Amino acid sequence: MDLGISGRTAIVCASSKGLGRGCAQALAEAGCTVVINGRDGTTLEATASQIRASTGATVIPVVADVSTRAGQDALLAAAPKPDILVNNNGGPPPKPFRDVSREGLLEGVVQNMATPLELVQRVIDGMIERRFGRIVNITSASVLTPLSGLDVSSAARAGLTAFLSGVAREVAHANVTINNILPGMFDTDRLKSGLTKAAETSGAALEDIAKQRRASVPAGRFGEAEEFGKLCAFLASAHAGYITGQNVLIDGGAFRGNF
**Could you report the per-residue pLDDT of 40-87, keeping only the tens digit for each?**
999 999 999 999 999 999 999 999 999 999 999 999 999 999 999 999
Q: pLDDT at position 147, please?
A: 85
**What tens digit of pLDDT does each residue of 20-39 get?**
999 999 999 999 999 999 99
Distance CA 131, CA 258 (A): 36
Distances (CA, A) of 39 to 62, 132, 159: 8, 29, 25
User: Which DSSP symbol is given to 186?
Assistant: B
**Which of the two residues, 257 and 226, has the higher pLDDT score?**
226
pLDDT class of 173 with cuts at 50, 70, 90: very high
**What tens digit of pLDDT does each residue of 120-164 get?**
999 999 999 999 999 999 999 999 998 888 999 999 999 999 999
Residue type, position 256, single letter: R
Residues 6+ positions from 193 with CB-CB distance below 8 Å: none
Q: pLDDT at position 51, please?
A: 98
Q: pLDDT at position 115, please?
A: 98
Which helix (H) or strand (E) element contains residue 26? helix 18-29
Residue 85, phi then psi, degrees to nearest 5: -125, 125
**Which of the two residues, 90 and 115, has the higher pLDDT score?**
115
Q: What is the DSSP secondary-structure string of 100-126?
A: --HHHHHHHHIIIIIHHHHHHHHHHHH
The structural domains of the chain, ordered by start, are 9-184+224-249 (3.40.50.720), 188-222 (no CATH)
- Say if residue 52 is exposed, middle or buried (CB neighbours under 10 Å; 0-12, 13-18, 19+): middle
166, 234 Cβ separation under 8 angstroms:
no
**What tens digit of pLDDT does each residue of 179-191 get?**
999 999 999 988 8
Distances (CA, A) of 74 to 36, 77, 123: 11, 5, 13
User: Against a cut of 0.85, is the pTM above it?
Assistant: yes
Q: pLDDT at position 200, please?
A: 87
- Percent of the chain at pLDDT > 70 equals 100
**Does the pLDDT value for residue 231 go beyond 90?**
yes
Distances (CA, A) of 18 to 89, 97, 113: 11, 26, 20
Distance CA 34, CA 49 (A): 12
Cα end-to-end distance, the chain, whole Å = 28
Residue type, position 173, single letter: H
Across the range 223-237, mean pLDDT stands at 98
**What tens digit of pLDDT does each residue of 184-214 get?**
999 998 888 889 988 888 899 999 999 999 9
Strand partners of residue 10: 34, 84
Strand partners of residue 34: 10, 59
Residues 6+ positions from 85 with CB-CB distance below 8 Å: 10, 11, 13, 119, 120, 123, 133, 134, 135, 136
